Amino acid sequence: MPQVSLTVNGKTSTVEVEGRTLLVELLREKLGLTGTHVGCDTSQCGACVVHVNGASVKACTMLALQAEGAQVITIEGLAAADGTLHPMQEMFREHHALQCGFCTPGMVMSAIDLVQTHPQGITEDEIRHGLEGNLCRCTGYHNIVKAIAAAWPIMHGKQVPLAAE
């Protein structure tokens, strides 16, 4: 059986996989990283978004073998070692940008990539357009958009996040 070596959340792993194994399956079933969700099996919902070599990717559309040598970040890899949330996670919490939470990991991962690719600023329309590949059946997106807009200045060093109380 073929092997794939990759670094996930800073930890290098070599895993045996079948050639048809999807990256999402490797993450969930082989590495136990269940924060990456499988929602639709058709690559339309975005619940499986992770970062591969710095870009957001739907892990249900990528074969595990295609991740050979890649740096992969999942939702579990965002928080600091001391438990401090990533600014996007904190803004999702602060702005009540989740309800059931199923879409949240993929939404957060997509939002981080979206903010990183807009260093000069981001509009509400750009946020809404950038989230077109992520479905949320609970929130109506309003608070998600607010959370992403609030995370932008923090992620770009324009605003210091408030200390947790």
Q: What proportion of the chain, given as a percentage, has pLDDT over 90?
A: 85
Residue 3's DSSP bridge partners are 16
CATH number for domain 87-155, candidates 1.10.10.920, 1.10.10.60, 1.10.150.120, 3.40.640.10: 1.10.150.120
As a whole number of angstroms, the distance between CA 115 and CA 102 comes to 21
| The pLDDT of residue 65 is above 70 | yes
Say what the pLDDT of residue 31 is: 98
Say what the pLDDT of residue 165 is: 41
Parallel/antiparallel/unpaired status of strands 71-73 and 3-8: parallel
- In this prediction, residue 143 has a pLDDT band, given cuts at 50, 70 and 90, of very high
pLDDT digits (tens, 9 = 90+) for 67-120: 999 999 999 999 999 999 999 999 999 999 988 989 999 999 999 999 999 999
For the chain, the straight-line distance linking the first and the last C-alpha, in angstroms and rounded, comes to 51
Say what the pLDDT of residue 123 is: 96
CB 109 within 8 A of CB 47: no
CATH of domain 3-77: 3.10.20.30
pLDDT digits (tens, 9 = 90+) for 112-131: 999 999 999 999 999 999 99
